[in-house]
Amino acid sequence: MAKIKIGIPRSLFYYYYKDIWKYFFDEFNIELIISPPTNKTIMENGIKFSIDEMCVSMKNYIGHVYYLLDKCDYILIPRISNYGNDNQTCTNFLATYDIINNIFDTKILNYNINLENNETEEKGLIKIVTDFGYSKEYAKKAYKNAIKKVKQKNDKLIKDNIKKLDSEKTKILLIGHPYNLYDNLIGKEIIKYIELNDTEIIYSDLFHKDITNTLSKKLSYSLYFKYNKENIGSIPLVEDKIDGIIFISTFPCSPDSLVNELMFRKLKKPYLNLIIDDLNSMTGIETRIESFIDIIKGGVINE
Amino acid sequence: MKNCYLGIDIGSISTKGVIIDENNNIIKSEYIWTEANPIKAVKKLIENLKNNLDKNIVIKGIGTTGSARKLIGLLLDANVIKNEITAHAVGTLNFYPECKTILEIGGQDSKIILINNGIITDYAMNTLCAAGTGAFLSSQAKRLKIKIEDFGKLALKSNNPVKIAARCTVFAESDLVHKAQLGYKIEDIVAGLSKSIVLNYLNNVGKGKKIKPPIVFQGGVSKNIGVVKYFKEILKEDIIVDSNSHLMGAIGIAILAKNKNNKIYDLNIKDIKFETKGMECNKCPNNCEILKIYKDEKLIDAFGSKCNREIKN
């Protein structure tokens, strides 16, 4: 039997679920085709197929789907509604499946995550492979193994991230969604530039999610966006050990525009807010980052 | 021999240069239009600065700031290339060490810098929109057939400035046309425009910032006495405008260059041929827009590449 090819767009979900997908599907006769790091062509195609009101990250996702159309048998798009009552996700994560289904004529593999309705990732992934003819027992075991491997990998990343807090350099907490921070076109250049200024970057997403999720209550009791809670929960965890905070979001992100604005009023440390849209000039961003770092280093004027 | 330092601030509209000595005194200064050609402007600026310059002066450091700082810094082999926010703050604090707020309106951007005990604590810059900057004022002056130098004086004549939308220049312009067609006096319109610049600035860049005295106002627009008047009126505070307010960025970067001096510059760039060539690299789907810089037909640097691919002639 030829390998089944499942396409995975390198955007949005990818940055949260890439490891579980990889370790899980590796156990079957399935090949994952991952789209390349975002480049201008991918972004331009995304913009072409999306409506104006979508955020840059969503447009980017659509570009990645377009890239995969003729390269795989299926495209994997989960539909994520919530992780419980006070852990909702951005509406894009809920709507992507239907949006893509409407834009492109392609076969989509789908599972739901809706804990309010008792629909879990485990059930979803197992259903996908049993539909391909694998036994339920084998799939269950594969999922269990995959989860174990993911945990090992994450623990290491988190350990490295926490170790950076002991660095002698100026330390900056970078808050943003992983699909923006690690995207080749959206966040990579910015991170490169921040590092160029002799700083240590601590990433908001590389902490234990259950810890940051709970800690976010210190800043606000009523927030219910899962991903934002996990991002800002890193603030009370490390605020005493860092020199400044940089927020990165894409235009127009609705959870970010609410949550980040709320944070600005509660922070003790200096912050910089960068909102990225599909402009392609770095000049303005460089000016802002450089002057922000000058400020938190504090010494420039009296040098 | 006298050790001196050169600071150059290359903005979108004008290019400013100063030479300062060890004690931060201005030896010579120059202010010319950039005219969308920073290389040509800087060559002219340096020739003007060299003209009649004391033979004993040696330039031991060069700093560049402003939107073309990277390009010009490379051409002059500057020892400091810094953003304009830091440069402006350093320059201003040299003259007004007590200063708490710097308002700055330039050709294309405007910023506010808050200072506490001589350290920058906060700043804001206009984002995508160039509403309420010098470029808007000069285009409207042109439409009204007024010299930009006379703009401020004319505004002061008015007792009844017309109301002009302060949010967006597109609406401001249609307001202005409408008021003119209704028959308002030109000085009232000019005064209304000056006031709208101030309101726009305070609503956009200054939003949510605590503006504390002493306040220093600088950038090209600070030369407009009409705008200064409305800042005073609306903020109900005294506004300091230095006679060198347009040079603060250049002075600041010269001071920063002084603290990092290490070599002697000869400033003979008039006959060196600098050329830039834009190109689109089609080697990968990124299609980076690359700017290549040539000195005497030799490639010295290139900007704009997203990868580390070597760029050849």
Instruction: Compute the distance between CA of residue B291 and CA of residue B303 in angstroms, rounded to an integer.
Output: 5
CATH number reported for the structural domain that contains residue A234 in this entry: 3.40.50
Q: Are residues A143 and A173 in the same domain?
A: no
The residue extents of the domains of chain B are 2-89+250-258, 98-241, 274-303
Range of the domain at A193: 167-297
Q: Are residues A107 and A40 in the same domain?
A: yes
Contact criterion met (CB below 8 Å) for B64 and B73: yes
Q: Which residues of A touch B104 (CB under 8 A)?
A: none
Q: Are residues A145 and A9 in the same domain?
A: yes
Instruction: Compute the distance between CA of residue B307 and CA of residue B288 in angstroms, rounded to an integer.
Output: 9
Chain A within 8 Å of B90 (Cβ-Cβ)? yes
Collapse the DSSP code of B131 into the 3-class scheme (helix H, G, I; strand E, B; otherwise coil) and give the result.
coil
DSSP B178-212: HHHHHT--HHHHHHHHHHHHHHHHHHHTTTT----
Chain A within 8 Å of B37 (Cβ-Cβ)? no
Q: Do the domains at B2-89+250-258 and B98-241 have one common CATH topology?
A: yes
Q: Which residues of B touch A301 (CB under 8 A)?
A: 86, 89-90, 93, 118-120
Chain A within 8 Å of B131 (Cβ-Cβ)? no
Q: How many helices (H) and strands (E) does chain A have?
A: 13, 10
Residue A201 clears pLDDT 90, i.e. is over it: yes
Instruction: Compute the distance between CA of residue A5 and CA of residue A71 in angstroms, rounded to an integer.
Output: 8
Q: Where are the alpha helices (DSSP H) in chain A?
A: 14-25, 40-49, 56-68, 91-103, 121-131, 136-163, 178-181, 188-196, 209-215, 226-232, 234-238, 254-264, 283-297
Averaged confidence pLDDT in chain A = 90
Q: Is residue A157 situated within a structural domain?
A: no
- A7 residue type, one letter: G
Q: Are residues A138 and A178 in the same domain?
A: no
Q: Which of B89, B286, B289 sits opposite A39 (nearest CB)?
A: B286
Averaged confidence pLDDT in chain B = 86
Residue A291 clears pLDDT 80, i.e. is over it: yes
Residue with tokens 């046309």: B177
Contact criterion met (CB below 8 Å) for A76 and A129: no
Convert the pLDDT of each residue in B42-53 to its tens digit.
989 998 988 888
Instruction: Compute the distance between CA of residue A177 and CA of residue A184 in angstroms, rounded to an integer.
Output: 14
Residue A36 clears pLDDT 90, i.e. is over it: yes
Show which of residues 38-77 on chain B sit within 8 Å of chain A, judged by CB atoms.
Answer: 67
Residue B155 backbone dihedrals phi, psi, to 5 degrees: -65, -35
**A299 band by pLDDT with thresholds 50, 70 and 90:** low
Chain A within 8 Å of B89 (Cβ-Cβ)? yes
**The pLDDT value given to residue A302:** 45
Q: Is residue A36 situated within a structural domain?
A: yes
In chain A, the number of structural domains is 2
Instruction: Compute the distance between CA of residue B85 and CA of residue B94 in angstroms, rounded to an integer.
Output: 14
Residue in B closest to A45 by C-alpha: B285
Q: Are residues A236 and A142 in the same domain?
A: no
Residue in B closest to A286 by C-alpha: B83
Mean pLDDT of A190-196: 90
Residue A232 clears pLDDT 80, i.e. is over it: yes
End-to-end CA distance of chain B: 41
Q: List the single range of A71-80, A231-240, B210-219, B271-280 with lowest mean pLDDT.
A: B271-280
Q: Which residues of B touch A197 (CB under 8 A)?
A: none
Q: Are residues A142 and A281 in the same domain?
A: no
Q: Is residue A40 situated within a structural domain?
A: yes
Convert the pLDDT of each residue in B60-78 to its tens digit.
899 999 888 888 888 888 8
Contact criterion met (CB below 8 Å) for A234 and A204: yes
Q: Are residues A141 and A8 in the same domain?
A: yes
Q: Is residue A53 situated within a structural domain?
A: yes
pTM of the model: 0.83
Q: Are residues A66 and A194 in the same domain?
A: no
Token digits of residue B101? 């707020």
- Is B128 or A74 the better-scoring residue by pLDDT? A74
Token digits of residue A181? 């921070």
**B145 band by pLDDT with thresholds 50, 70 and 90:** confident
Q: Is residue A302 situated within a structural domain?
A: no
Contact criterion met (CB below 8 Å) for B67 and B108: yes
Q: Are residues A104 and A184 in the same domain?
A: no
Q: Which residues of A touch B286 (CB under 8 A)?
A: 39-41
Of B52, B46, B17, the closest CA to residue B31 belongs to B17
What is Dmax (Cα atoms) for chain A?
Answer: 71
CA distance A143 to chain B (A): 36
**The pLDDT value given to residue A161:** 93
**A295 band by pLDDT with thresholds 50, 70 and 90:** confident
**The pLDDT value given to residue A1:** 65
**The pLDDT value given to residue B65:** 93
Instruction: Compute the distance between CA of residue A18 and CA of residue A10 in angstroms, rounded to an integer.
Output: 9
Q: Is residue A160 situated within a structural domain?
A: no
Convert the pLDDT of each residue in A262-290 to its tens digit.
998 888 888 898 888 876 667 778 888 98
CA distance B124 to chain A (A): 9
The one-character DSSP state at B271 is T
Q: Which residues of B touch A251 (CB under 8 A)?
A: none
User: Which numeric CATH code is attached to B98-241?
Assistant: 3.30.420.40
Do B121 and A283 lie within an 8 Å CB cutoff? no
Could you write out the three-class secondary structure of B147-178? CHHHHHHHHHCCCCCCCCCCCCHHHHHHHHHH
Residue A303 clears pLDDT 50, i.e. is over it: no
Chain A within 8 Å of B5 (Cβ-Cβ)? no
Instruction: Compute the distance between CA of residue B151 and CA of residue A95 in angstroms, rounded to an integer.
Output: 54
Residue partners of A278: CB distance under 8 A and separation at least 6: A43, A47, A56, A59
Q: Are residues A283 and A193 in the same domain?
A: yes
| B298-303, strands of its sheet edge to edge | B274-280, B289-295, B298-303
**The pLDDT value given to residue B166:** 66
Buried-state track B7-46, b at ≥16 Cβ within 10 A, e below 16: bbbbbbbbbbbbbbeeeeeebbbbbeebeeebbebbbbbb
**B313 band by pLDDT with thresholds 50, 70 and 90:** low
Q: Please give the helix or strand (H or E) that residue B289 lies within, else none.
A: strand B289-295
Last residue of a domain, one of A152, A182, A205: A152
Collapse the DSSP code of A174 into the 3-class scheme (helix H, G, I; strand E, B; otherwise coil) and give the result.
strand
Last residue of a domain, one of A123, A152, A181: A152
| B26-33, strands of its sheet edge to edge | B26-33, B14-21, B2-10, B57-65, B80-81
Interface A–B counts its CB contacts (< 8 A) at 59
Q: Are residues A113 and A183 in the same domain?
A: no
Residue in A closest to B68 by C-alpha: A283
For testing contact with chain A, the best of B24, B84, B120, B129 (most A CBs within 10 A) = B120
**The pLDDT value given to residue B128:** 60
Convert the pLDDT of each residue in A133-188 to its tens digit.
899 999 999 999 999 999 999 999 999 999 999 988 899 999 999 999 999 888 88
Residue partners of A266: CB distance under 8 A and separation at least 6: A219
Instruction: Count other Cβ atoms within 10 Å, centred on residue A48.
Output: 11
Q: Which residues of B touch A275 (CB under 8 A)?
A: 127
CA distance B70 to chain A (A): 10
User: Which numeric CATH code is attached to B2-89+250-258?
Assistant: 3.30.420.40
Q: Are residues A104 and A174 in the same domain?
A: no
Between β-strands B239-240 and B215-218, what pairing exists: parallel, antiparallel or unpaired? parallel
Q: Is residue A197 situated within a structural domain?
A: yes
Convert the pLDDT of each residue in A110-144 to its tens digit.
999 999 889 999 999 999 999 998 999 999 999 99
Residue B310 clears pLDDT 80, i.e. is over it: no
**Packing angle, helices A14-25 and A121-131, rounded to 10:** 50
Instruction: Compute the distance between CA of residue A142 and CA of residue A225 in angstroms, rounded to an integer.
Output: 30
Residue B307 clears pLDDT 80, i.e. is over it: no
Query: ipTM higher than 0.90?
Result: no
Token digits of residue B292? 């290549």
Q: Which of B83, B93, B119 sits opposite A287 (nearest CB)?
A: B83
Between β-strands B57-65 and B80-81, what pairing exists: parallel, antiparallel or unpaired? parallel
